[in-house]
Amino acid sequence: MSAGNVILTGFMGSGKSTIGRILAKELNTYFIDTDNLIEYFENRSIKEIFEKEGEESFRKKERYCFEWIKNNVKNTVISVGGGFPVFIPEIKEAGVVIYLKVDFDDILKRMSEDEIAKRPLFQDIKKAKELFSKRDNIYRQLADYIIENRDIDGTIKKIKGIIDAS
Ligand SMILES: Nc1ncnc2c1ncn2[C@@H]1O[C@H](COP(=O)(O)OP(=O)(O)O)[C@@H](O)[C@H]1O
Ligand SMILES: O=C(O)C1=C[C@@H](OP(=O)(O)O)[C@@H](O)[C@H](O)C1
């Protein structure tokens, strides 16, 4: 596996952070989430970064994060923001990419109001649905593996199977 990293991609709310944290524990390794890395480094929330500096500035921070991961991180489970692969199509250079595909209506059912409020690009549900449709193809094309509509245990089991086989 490239640098031994497992990278989880997917739309906002597809479960990347939830799955990543559990998986890392089961694999006895660490978990990092690019949104959290950016928030710690900036000492402010993604929402604030979008409001004060705009999306373009956030994307530059994601790019910086990618370069750092690629050059420094090994044998780690990494979850990235929903737009990360869209703006960084070389994502595979940092590890094996697994797309967690979940239908939009199921994502909506899962997310609490608080979880939606934290995500600037989820404020307008109609626009979020359009973004989802545009991105599905990109996520697919940039993934080494796709896991569709599974519960947490089923997803973890699938990923462990992928790791064992590679
Ligand atoms: N497979 C799953 N089935 C049901 N709910 C899930 C699943 N994975 C995550 N969730 C829930 O969905 C919400 C969003 O998950 P999160 O991990 O924050 O998504 P992401 O990191 O992809 O934005 C959380 O409340 C989480 O508990
Ligand atoms: O889809 C996107 O463009 C974004 C997804 C978010 O991460 P999650 O996928 O963890 O919600 C976060 O990076 C930012 O709000 C932008």
Cβ(63)–Cβ(88) below 8 Å:
yes
Residue with CA nearest ligand 1 atom 15: 15
Question: 12 with 135: CB under 8 angstroms?
Answer: no
Q: Is the Cβ atom of 36 under 6 angstroms away from ligand 2?
A: no
ipTM above 0.85, yes or no: yes
pTM of the predicted model, to two decimals?
Answer: 0.97
Q: Is 158 annotated as a binding residue?
A: no
- What whole-number distance in Å separates Cα of residue 134 and Cα of residue 158? 26
| DSSP state letter for 44 | S
Q: How many Å apart are CA 120 and CA 55, to the nearest integer? A: 9
| Distances, alpha carbon 55 to alpha carbons 64, 76, 99, in Å | 14, 27, 23
21 labeled binding residue: no
The predicted model gives 55-73 an average pLDDT of: 98
Assess whether the C-beta atom of 13 lies below 6 angstroms from ligand 1.
yes
- For the four alpha carbons of 139, 144, 150 and 152, in that order, the dihedral sign comes to negative
pLDDT of residue 166: 82
Where along the chain do its domains lie? Answer: 2-153
Q: What percent of the chain has pLDDT over 90?
A: 96
- Residue in 11, 12, 57 to alter for ligand 2 test, most ligand atoms within 8 A of Cβ: 12
The model's pLDDT over 92-101, given as tens digits with 9 standing for 90+, comes to 999 999 999 9
Summary mean pLDDT of the chain: 96
Structure tokens at 108: 């909506």
Shortest-distance atom of ligand 1 to CA 11: 22
* 2-153: CATH class: alpha beta
- Which of 9, 58, 10, 11 shows the shortest CA–CA distance to 37? 58
Q: Binding residue per annotation — 155?
A: no
Among candidate residues 92, 81, 93, 90, the one with its CA nearest the CA of residue 131: 81
Q: Which helix (H) or strand (E) holds 109?
A: helix 104-110
Strand order from edge to edge, sheet including 6-9:
31-33, 77-79, 6-9, 96-101, 145-148
